[in-house]
Structure formats: C-alpha cells, structure tokens
Homo-oligomer: A and B are copies of this chain.
Amino acid sequence: MNKAIYLNSRPIGKPKESDFKFVNEDKPEITNGEILLKTKFVSVDPYLRGRMSDAKSYVQPFKLNEPISSGCIAEVIESKNDSFKKGDFVSGSLDWKEYQTSKGENLLKVDENQAPLSAYLGVLGMTGLTAYFGLTDIGKPQKGETVVVSGAAGAVGSIVGQIAKILGCRVVGIAGTDEKVAMLKSKFGFDEAINYNTVKDMSKAIADACPNGVDVYFDNVGGDISDSVHVNINRLGRIIVCGAISAYNDTSAPTGPRVEHFLIRKSALMQGFIVGNYAEKFPEGMQQLSKWLKDDKLTYSETIVEGFDAIPQAFIDLFEGKNKGKMIVKI
C-alpha cells in the first residue's frame, strides 16, 4: 500500500481537512533509469494555498483529484539510475505520497553529515534562499540601516532578521504572540519585536521601535500590518514583497490604502519576487548560508509534526500561526 494525498476540492477561504483526500495507491515499481523514493520530510508552505486555487499565477494550480506536491526530502530505496544509489537522500519537489518513482531530474542530493536533513527544506533550502536573495538583492541593506520584518517568527522571517543582523542593521520583528516576540529577541537576536495582537497603535509602535525610521521592510504578511510599516518608511526605502499571508484565504480581492502617494513622497520602492528568479544563483546562496550556519551565525527554528496523515492539518495550521519557524512533517 502507498498512501497519497489528493486535492479533493479547491479551498474557499481557509483550507479545511475535507479539501484533502487520502488515497491508497499501489506501491510503484521502477524501470530502467528510475529510482524509488521513500518520503522522509515534507515541507508545508503558505504559497501552496495559491496553487490550490485555479487563479492565474506564476505556477500551475494543482489539479483536482490529483496529488499535491511540495518540497520534500526522500531516501533512495532502490535505484536503476547510475546517478543515484540506495541510501542517498535527495531534495526536490515531490508528490505527497509515501513512495514515488523519479527519473532523478530536478532532484538535488543532500548530505546528512553536513546538516540535519530537515535543514535542506528550511535554512539551506527554498526558505533560506528566499530570505537571502530577497533581502540582499532587493533590500540591499546597508550597515546601520533599520530593517523591519513581518511574519518575523516564520521560516523566512527569522532567517531574514538574522541575515540583516549579520549585515550590521538594526532589526525589528513583527509577530503575533508574546512567546514569538520573546524568541525573536532571545534566540534570533532581533533588536526589538512587536506583538501585533496586543499593541494598540501599530504605526506608533513601529515608530517607537525604529527611531531612525524604516529603511528596508521585508514583508511576509501584507494587510493592515504592512500599512502601519509603510507610513514609517524612510526616503529611498525598499519594500520587499515576499508574501501576503494575511490575504491568502480571502475570498474577494483585498483593498487598502493606495500606495502611490507614499512611494512618490519617499522615492520608495516595492518589489515582488519569487525565489525561482534567482535559480542561477542558488549555489552561491547555499554556500553563503551553509557558511553562516557552520560559523554559528545563523540558527533556525522548526516545528516538526510526525506522520504522513498529519500533512493536511500541518498546512492548515500555518494560517493560524501555530508554527515557529519552518513547518515540516516527518514521515
């Protein structure tokens, strides 16, 4: 038997368990050139919500009644492909299945001795690369500047803040619980952190935490929280638009204050991106992140839940902020 998770219905608003369907497939067999993979770790990420709807986007939507896929780590348990041998671990976009075959295309071998396997889904994977390229290529933070990060306790945000500290910036994080706020300061070295759920006036809280204004804003959330950062942006400020989780479950197009006025007044920049834009520079990014990790300049959080059956709920929990750092399911 081989359990798989299919998209049962396109979520309306917040995803629910019934949008997913467990299916028992036959265990696949490999032919020449193929490898048989056993899934070890599954990454669940907010951007997958976009692929569950059929709106036009930068990636194809998932199809109804077909498997969902995401970043995974798998073990090669059988190989008829010269590039892989039994016992290798690989990272790549794989289906939510216990077992699957592959020709090995777009799979990257990962080394358990260099870092824990789950790190290749996080700080050394798309998460870390998203933080690294978004912050350095778009944000271009300079020593002494102030960097604000929303969704700061999340997988990307916590790495963004640490990189900004390495680069010599004052770093202020925004998160949704006192526990996360405490962790941002104690574990990740943020200079200040703000709990948006308990602060009455977010604009003022950001102004207070950023006495020299905001030079760079790494935005994972959008919505009201971002509005309150925008009003504090400095002249020539840079806003890195990485995510807008506040609205991923909205059923109508979100509206808010128009941004043109402050962009002109402050000669400021807003730029969206996806990490795939930097594919050619991934090796450079991974090398830098590995180095910082080895030098103990970078730490990371994971929320690891166990069991294949836990995947849908782990994904749903992202939108409740139940994860600290990277949310991963260990099979």
A247 to B260, CA, bound (A): 10
Q: Which residues of B contact A259 (CB under 8 A)?
A: 259, 270
A226 in the interface, Cβ–Cβ < 8 Å? yes
Interface residue tally of chain A, by bracket?
35 or more
A256 in the interface, Cβ–Cβ < 8 Å? yes
A263-B258 CB under 8 A given contacts A58-B235, A235-B58: no
> In this complex, which of A244, A247, A264 has the most chain B Cβ atoms within 10 angstroms of its Cβ?
A264
A32 in the interface, Cβ–Cβ < 8 Å? no
Tell me whether B255 and A258 are in contact (CB under 8 A): yes
Q: Which of A84-132 contact B (CB under 8 A)?
A: none
A268-B267 CB under 8 A given contacts A244-B258, A261-B244: no
A202 to B244, CA, bound (A): 27
Residue among B247, B254, B261, B263 making CB contact with A271, cutoff 8 Å: B263
Tell me whether B277 and A272 are in contact (CB under 8 A): no
Q: Which of A206-224 contact B (CB under 8 A)?
A: 219, 222-223
Nearest B residue to A268 via CB reads B272
Q: Which of A225-275 contact B (CB under 8 A)?
A: 226, 235-236, 241-244, 247, 253-274
> In this complex, which of A241, A255, A268 has the most chain B Cβ atoms within 10 angstroms of its Cβ?
A241
A57 in the interface, Cβ–Cβ < 8 Å? yes
A271 to B241, CA, bound (A): 13
Q: How far does the Cβ of A28 sit from chain B's closest Cβ, in whole Å?
A: 34
Tell me whether B255 and A263 are in contact (CB under 8 A): no
Q: Which residues of B contact A258 (CB under 8 A)?
A: 222-223, 244, 247, 253-256
Q: Which of A262-304 contact B (CB under 8 A)?
A: 262-274, 277
Q: Which residues of B contact A267 (CB under 8 A)?
A: 58, 271-274, 277
Residue among B57, B253, B254, B266 making CB contact with A265, cutoff 8 Å: B57
Q: How far does the Cβ of A98 sit from chain B's closest Cβ, in whole Å?
A: 32
Q: How far does the Cβ of A235 sit from chain B's closest Cβ, in whole Å?
A: 7
> In this complex, which of A223, A254, A256 has the most chain B Cβ atoms within 10 angstroms of its Cβ?
A256
A270 to B268, CA, bound (A): 8
A sample of 15 cross-chain residue pairs with beta-carbon separation below 8 angstroms, ordered by A number, consists of A56-B265, A222-B258, A223-B258, A236-B277, A241-B263, A241-B264, A247-B258, A254-B261, A255-B255, A255-B258, A256-B256, A263-B272, A264-B272, A265-B272, A270-B271
- Nearest first, the 9 A-B pairs at minimum CB distance are A263-B272, A264-B272, A244-B260, A269-B271, A222-B260, A270-B270, A254-B258, A241-B263, A256-B258
Q: What residues of chain A have their CB less than 8 Å away from a CB belonging to chain B?
A: 56-58, 219, 222-223, 226, 235-236, 241-244, 247, 253-274, 277
